[in-house]
Amino acid sequence: MTVLHDNIHVFERGWLSSNNILMLGRHDATLVDTGYVLHEQQTLALVRHGLHGRRLDRIVNTHLHSDHCGGNAILQAHFGSATYIPVSEADNVRRWDEDKLSFKATGQTCPRFSIDGTLSPGDKLTMADMEWDVLGAPGHDAHSLMLFCAQEGILISADALWQNGFGVIFPELDGQSGFAEERATLDLIESLDARVVVPGHGAVFTDVAQALKRARVRLDFLSGNPARNAEYAVKVLLKFLLLEKQRMKVDDVPALFASLPVIVAASQNYLGKSPEEVAQWTVKQLVRACSARIEDGYLLNDG
User: Rounded distance, CA 126 to CA 105, Å?
Assistant: 34
pLDDT digits (tens, 9 = 90+) for 75-134: 999 999 999 999 999 999 999 998 899 999 999 999 999 999 999 999 999 999 999 999
Report the interhelical angle of 72-79 vs 40-51 (nearest 10°). Answer: 40
User: Rounded distance, CA 33 to CA 61, Å?
Assistant: 5
* pLDDT for res 15: 87
Picking from 176, 154, 170, 195, the residue whose alpha carbon sits closest to that of residue 262 is 170
**Residue 271 CB coordination number (10 Å):** 19
pLDDT confidence tier of residue 1, bands split at 50, 70 and 90: low
Overall average pLDDT of the 217-227 stretch: 98
* pLDDT for res 215: 98
pLDDT digits (tens, 9 = 90+) for 183-207: 999 999 999 989 999 999 999 999 9
User: Rounded distance, CA 261 to CA 242, Å?
Assistant: 18
Rounded to two decimals, what is the model's pTM? Answer: 0.96
pLDDT at 4 exceeding the cut of 80: no
Residue 163 Cα distances to 119, 200, 210, 283, angstroms: 26, 10, 8, 27
pLDDT digits (tens, 9 = 90+) for 60-73: 999 999 999 999 99
Overall average pLDDT of the 16-27 stretch: 97
* pLDDT for res 226: 97
Return phi, psi of residue 257, to 5°.
-60, -40
- Structural domains present in the chain: 2-223 (3.60.15.10), 226-301 (1.10.10)
pLDDT at 269 exceeding the cut of 90: yes
Residue 12 Cα distances to 1, 15, 90, 235, 285, angstroms: 6, 10, 27, 23, 28
* pLDDT for res 6: 78
* pLDDT for res 303: 76
Overall average pLDDT of the 277-291 stretch: 97
